[in-house]
Amino acid sequence: MPAAPAPGITVLHCINALTDVAAFALHSTENARIHAVKLPCSGMTRDIFLLKAFEVGADAVVLFTCPEGACRHLDGNIRAWKRVERVRGILDEIGLSSRRLSAFSIAPGDQEAVSLALRKVVSELAVLGPNPAARACPEITSGLTSATTS
C-alpha cells in the first residue's frame, strides 16, 4: 500500500520576521510539503488568502508574524492575528477544524522557533488527518493560485 502523502502546509510569513527560509527546506523533504507565501507585512494577510489555501488543498495553514510591539508597520501583526482568529471561527462553522490554522510570532532569525512551530503543526495534522475539503486539482502541485475573483 503506497505511503500516505506528506501533509501540505501553506506558510504565510512576513519578510521582516523570516528572511531565511532554510527551516522550511528542512521540513519540506520528510514530514511535510511546504508552500511559502511572502508578505511585506503580516498585516497584509486577507481572509481570502487563508481560505483559498485550504481550497487548493492545504491541510494546514500557518502564519508567522513579528512579535508584539515589534511590527515595523506598528500594528500589522495585531491585525493579522485578529484575522486569523476570525477565519478560525469560519473554519469551525463550516466543519473544517480551526486547529488547521495557526499563527506564531517569531523573533527575526529565530530558526529554532520556526522549526518548533512547524513540528507542532505536523503533529497536530497527524491527529486531524488530511483536509476533507481538498480535491484533486493542478493548483496543489504548483502552489497557491492568486486570490482574485474566481
The site for other proteins (CB under 8 A) is made up of: 46-48, 51-52, 54-55, 87, 90, 93-96, 132-135, 147, 149-150
Min separation Cβ 38 and other proteins, Å? 20
Min separation Cβ 146 and other proteins, Å? 11
Min separation Cβ 112 and other proteins, Å? 33
Residue 60 has φ and ψ, to the nearest 5°, of -145, 155
* For other proteins, the closer CB: 102 or 111: 102
Residue type, 11: V
* For other proteins, the closer CB: 90 or 140: 90
Q: Of 22, 17, 131, nearest to 77 (Cα)?
A: 17
For residue 102, the cross-strand partners are 62
* For other proteins, the closer CB: 26 or 140: 140
For residue 37, the cross-strand partners are 12
- The three-class DSSP label of residue 12 is strand
Q: Which three cell numbers stand for residue 122?
A: 505536523
* For other proteins, the closer CB: 32 or 56: 56
